Structure 1
Amino acid sequence: MRAIIFIWLGGGFGSVLRYLVQLGTSKLFTVTFPAGTFIVNISGCFVIGLLYGLATKYAALTMEWRLFLITGICGGYTTFSSFSYEGISLFRQENYTYFILYTVLSVVVGLLSTFYGMTVVK
């Protein structure tokens, strides 16, 4: 139950942070390119990589802090960071078939699913 509470608190914080970054970015950039989402996704990847590196190299984070920061905040902030982390994990494990399959399918099916969801609403 403690784990769920840590994830829940981090997820709420990450989601609010994502909203604020996207809101601020939309006021700075008036182009069609989804700059807010791009910034959130890329920064989320950097943060999850940084936290994972700290956790493994220095054993700097307890399980509760990992759940709060990585699963909660990064998960709430962006699921793209989790996608990136999982892909790199497959690559580092030399599981190249699943790495390629996961990466390609996630991007292609994600885009197709978004497109399909948008067309269903029309």
Structure 2
Amino acid sequence: MTYLIYSALYPSEDFYRTDFTEVTGIKLPEHVEFKYKSATYPDHFGDYTSISIINVGRDFYNNLPKALTEKGLKKNGQKIHTKEFDKALEHTDNLEIESEFTLEEGGGVYYYVGFLTDNETIIVKRLSW
């Protein structure tokens, strides 16, 4: 019982990998470094916000924009900021966001991927309401 409560409050890395796949349409490489991760507890409709900062390496970083465009995310599209996003920005090691891709799907689901200036780290956010 304790494990179930703990995993509900502090989701595993697999949870964030699943959200990455939902947001981007592709799998996250096995060898990446999660620099930050946070998620809200799902409400009674199953809606939640998750955000992660992931060092994916240069090659994956450079190829990701094409995959995002193919999924329908738009470069520099509409941004929906949340307190979870603002808190995540405190963990970027002073790196700036150099480009952003977003997609809002029907039914209240929003996807975001931001590319940081080190050319190997991204911010991934999934939001539903």
TM-score, reference length from structure 2: 0.23
* Bigger strand share: 2
* Bigger helix share: 1
Larger Rg: 1
